[in-house]
Amino acid sequence: MQINGWSGILVYLEMQDNGIADVSLELIGKAAELSGEGRKEIFAVGIGNHSPVLEKQLQDYPLDAVYLYQIAEEFQADIYEEAVIACIHKLKPAIVLFGGTMQGRALAPRVAVAFATGVTADCTQLLVDEDNQLVQIRPAFGGNIMASIVTEKSRPQIATVRPGIFSYLEPVNHKKIAIQEKRWESSKPRVTVLDKRVAVWETGIGQQELLVAAGRGVKKKEDLNMLRELAGLLGGKLASSRALVEKGWMEPEEQIGLSGITVAPRCMLTFGVSGTLQFMAGMKNTGNIIAVDTNPNANIFEIAHYPVCADLYEVIPKLIQLIKDVIAI
Amino acid sequence: MKIAVCMKQVPTYSEGNMDARTGLMIRSGLESVVNVYDMAALETALQIREKMQGTIDVYTMGPGRAVQVLREAYAYGANQGFLVSDEAFGGADVLATSYTLMQAVKSQGEYDLILCGKQTTDGDTGLVSGALAKWLEMPHVTGITKLMEVTPNEITLEQMLERHNISLKIGYPCLLAVDRSIFAPRMPSLKLRMGGKKKPVISIALKDLPDKNACHYGQAGSATKVRSIFPPERTKQQTVANMDGKEAAAYIFEKIQKLRG
């Protein structure tokens, strides 16, 4: 494939409550950084209806053009991809960024196959090197190593980024952007949506001020009860690393990490969490991390504000007692 | 109904290793298991087969010893196992992996339904299912948490997105990526397990695929390349406090009280 002639950055705008999802605004912020102070163009493509909220959100950002497609159907990857693919053919962007959301992760691989190009999931860092290659950095194999990944010979270079990984770009009141709208009729709606209900995400681990995180150091499923009790006493929730979800002890929606949920509570207590990169990438913006582990060299201690080398089985019952004593008074 | 299930052999631990020179996974010396997310896909296939007439074909791509995945699938009741294995397939990224799986699946005719797990525990992208669906020109739905109804023409499901639970129905052919919560795997049958040891496995190598051009597979057919691997940036480390249980509890208690103002 010819890679000359592809330039600029296209951000997929995910719609939410009539406006744009935070993750898309985070990607626009990263695109602005990658564009080298406006030397490369930044485009956005979204599927949804024009609204005053959306227009106001967009006009504050350094976008060169916005394409908004109206599709009658609810989200279906094989229909929404048609509009995104058409937009890529038109703009020929060198880079396409998707949020690492259900939508983004369904669309990105389909778009990549359409252009026979690469897609890198859940990047934690993106930069452009001196050869104009997008360097996509992510933890490799859930392990304790980072990998720099490049898409050398094909375009566009496609990456997904989980919500909360990049910081939100402050509105800059850039200029008024023309939003180009188009209706998109798909010939192949294959999915019929019967019902759509708001999930109780407000009560999820992503929305807590305080989290207690359990890791591989917890030996038995029953032992999670005392951690859950501690979380309850502190007015927070119990979450875990991937290891316990793989064992079936915790639910996927309780998993912290790049492959689980990105969290940034004010305070987190970790017990027996060694701290894989994929775990830490999903919680590194936590305000205060108190980490307890028996291994003095645990990775989690490198980012913990209060690293404590101790045995969770000795600490937790005593900590629960101290809290109960205070409540009793 | 003709059902295909994609399953992968992964290292027991998520903390697999990578070769610092080639940037590829070191698979030797690690104990291997079936990717836990794929067991939910297999169980979904079994549940569907119980309601409908049909067959379940399991595909696994990997080195020769990935045949263990197929033996395991036989113990649960899969009809036919395909080992997609060739030196030319090694080092594949999302694009090349999904292309190889598509070629393998296509070599066995048309399927009504293809089932995948949410993600693997080693590569960890969660993207191969969507890429495979695109190669097969099929619609695909991810995040399936419930199987509501199966009929000869369509399947009714529940999907969990970030903020919504969606009930939907979809016609065949289609690809579904199921969440682990959809079904807990059943107990494997001892009788099937014993029988499965002798049951033949069908090997699919490059020469068996419709497209035999080696450049489209493995590292050669991959669009992405690992340029380098490196240890993560170290942040300024706090001194680790060594304490017994009582001291630690008092220390943590004091910190929490302070943080909560």
A78: which 2 tokens? 């094989």
Cβ distance of B252 and A319 shorter than 8 Å: yes
Residues of B in contact with A246 (CB under 8 A): 14, 36, 121
Assess whether pLDDT exceeds 60 at residue B69: yes
Cβ distance of A147 and B251 shorter than 8 Å: no
Task: Note the pLDDT tens digit of each residue in A104-160.
Answer: 999 999 999 999 999 999 999 999 999 999 999 998 865 568 899 999 999 999 999
Cβ distance of A288 and B138 shorter than 8 Å: no
A269: which 2 tokens? 């207590």
**Residue A36: left (phi > 0), alpha (psi -120 to 50), or beta?**
left
Task: Give ipTM to 2 decimals.
Answer: 0.89
Q: Are B13 and B30 in contact (CB under 8 A)?
A: yes
* Dihedral (CA of A57, A62, A65, A69) sign: negative
Run of H or E including A114: helix A102-114
Run of H or E including A315: helix A312-328
What is the β-pairing status of strands B80-84 and B9-11?
unpaired
Cβ distance of B121 and A246 shorter than 8 Å: yes
Residues of B in contact with A119 (CB under 8 A): 94-95, 125, 127, 131, 224
Q: Which residue in B has a C-alpha nearest to residue A270's C-alpha? A: B252
Which CA distances in Å does A316 have to A195, A308, B249? Answer: 44, 13, 7
Considering CB atoms only, which of A150, A308, A318 is closest to B225? A150
Q: Which residues pair with A178 in a beta bridge?
A: none
Q: Which residues pair with B32 in a beta bridge?
A: B11
Angstroms from A176 CA to nearest CA on chain B: 31
Q: CA–CA separation, B26 vs A149, rounded Å? A: 18
Q: CA–CA separation, B78 vs A167, rounded Å? A: 47
Average confidence (pLDDT) over B104-121? 95
Assess whether pLDDT exceeds 60 at residue B16: no
Return the pLDDT at B224.
97
At B14, the pLDDT band (50, 70, 90 cuts) reads: very low
Residues of A in contact with B14 (CB under 8 A): 141-143, 242-243, 246, 276, 278
At A254, the pLDDT band (50, 70, 90 cuts) reads: very high
Residue of A180, A134, A169, A165 whose CA lies nearest to A8: A134
Residues of A in contact with B181 (CB under 8 A): 251-252
Q: Per mean pLDDT, which of A158-167, A297-306, B103-112 is the most reliable?
A: B103-112
Return the pLDDT at B235.
61
Angstroms from B247 CA to nearest CA on chain A: 8
Q: Are B88 and B67 in contact (CB under 8 A)?
A: no
Return the pLDDT at B234.
61
Rounded to 5 degrees, φ, ψ at A104 are: -60, -40
Q: CA–CA separation, B57 vs B111, rounded Å? A: 10
Q: Suggest the residue from B8, B22, B127 to mutate for an interface test with chain A (most A CBs closer than 10 A).
A: B127
Residue A265, preceding bond cis, omega within 30 degrees? no
Angstroms from B200 CA to nearest CA on chain A: 30
Angstroms from A175 CA to nearest CA on chain B: 32
Considering CB atoms only, which of A145, A259, A308 is closest to B241? A308
Residue of A106, A97, A51 whose CA lies nearest to A74: A106
Q: CA–CA separation, A34 vs A169, rounded Å? A: 13
Assess whether pLDDT exceeds 70 at residue B169: yes
Q: CB within 8 A of B59, min separation 6: which ones?
A: B4, B5, B6, B7, B82, B84, B101, B104, B105
Cβ distance of A314 and B166 shorter than 8 Å: no
Assess whether pLDDT exceeds 90 at residue A177: no
Considering CB atoms only, which of A119, A194, A252 is closest to B181? A252
Considering CB atoms only, which of B93, B130, B228 is closest to A110? B130
Residue type, A315: V
Task: Note the pLDDT tens digit of each residue in A38-55.
Answer: 678 999 999 998 888 888
Considering CB atoms only, which of B25, B166, B237 is closest to A301? B237
Angstroms from B157 CA to nearest CA on chain A: 10
The CA-based dihedral angle spanning residues B211, B217, B221, B227, taken in that order and rounded to the nearest 10 degrees:
180
Q: Are A32 and A161 in contact (CB under 8 A)?
A: no
User: What percent of chain B stands above pLDDT 70?
Assistant: 91
A263: which 2 tokens? 């969290």
User: What percent of chain B stands above pLDDT 90?
Assistant: 74
Assess whether pLDDT exceeds 80 at residue B104: yes
Assess whether pLDDT exceeds 60 at residue A239: yes
Q: Are A205 and A261 in contact (CB under 8 A)?
A: yes
Cβ distance of A149 and B225 shorter than 8 Å: yes
Q: Are A165 and A262 in contact (CB under 8 A)?
A: yes
Considering CB atoms only, which of B15, B141, B238 is closest to A306? B238
Q: CA–CA separation, A86 vs A93, rounded Å? A: 12
User: What percent of chain A stands above pLDDT 90?
Assistant: 64
Return the pLDDT at A202.
61
Q: Suggest the residue from A18, A85, A98, A141 to mutate for an interface test with chain B (most B CBs closer than 10 A).
A: A141
Considering CB atoms only, which of A101, A305, A308 is closest to B251? A308
- Indicate the average pLDDT of chain A: 90
* Dihedral (CA of B176, B54, B37, B120) sign: negative
Cβ distance of B121 and A308 shorter than 8 Å: no
Q: Which residue in B has a C-alpha nearest to residue A324's C-alpha? A: B253
Q: CA–CA separation, A28 vs A20, rounded Å? A: 11
Rounded to 5 degrees, φ, ψ at A30 are: -65, -40
Q: CB within 8 A of A293, min separation 6: which ones?
A: A215, A217, A270, A271, A272, A273, A274, A300, A301, A308, A309, A312
Q: Are B182 and B144 in contact (CB under 8 A)?
A: yes
Q: CA–CA separation, B101 vs B82, rounded Å? A: 11
B251 CA to centre of own chain:
43
| Least-confidence region, from A263-267, B209-213, B217-221 | A263-267
Which residue would you say has higher pLDDT here, A70 or A175?
A: A70
Q: Which residue in B has a C-alpha nearest to residue A119's C-alpha? A: B94
Return the pLDDT at A214.
97
Return the pLDDT at A139.
85
Cβ distance of A196 and B164 shorter than 8 Å: yes
At B13, the pLDDT band (50, 70, 90 cuts) reads: low
Which residue would you say has higher pLDDT here, B230 or A94?
A: A94
Task: Note the pLDDT tens digit of each residue in B191-202.
Answer: 999 999 999 999
At A238, the pLDDT band (50, 70, 90 cuts) reads: very high
Angstroms from B242 CA to nearest CA on chain A: 5
User: What percent of chain A stands above pLDDT 70?
Assistant: 96
Cβ distance of B253 and A319 shorter than 8 Å: yes
DSSP assignments along A16-77, one per residue: ETTEE-HHHHHHHHHHHHHTTTTTS-EEEEEES---HHHHHHHHTS--SEEEEEE-SSPP-H
Assess whether pLDDT exceeds 70 at residue A23: yes
- Indicate the average pLDDT of chain B: 91
Angstroms from B95 CA to nearest CA on chain A: 6
Cβ distance of A145 and B249 shorter than 8 Å: no
Considering CB atoms only, which of A146, A242, A306 is closest to B255? A306
At A168, the pLDDT band (50, 70, 90 cuts) reads: confident
Q: CA–CA separation, A162 vs A257, rounded Å? A: 10
Considering CB atoms only, which of A114, A192, A252 is closest to B169? A192
Cβ distance of A315 and B255 shorter than 8 Å: no
Residues of B in contact with A260 (CB under 8 A): none
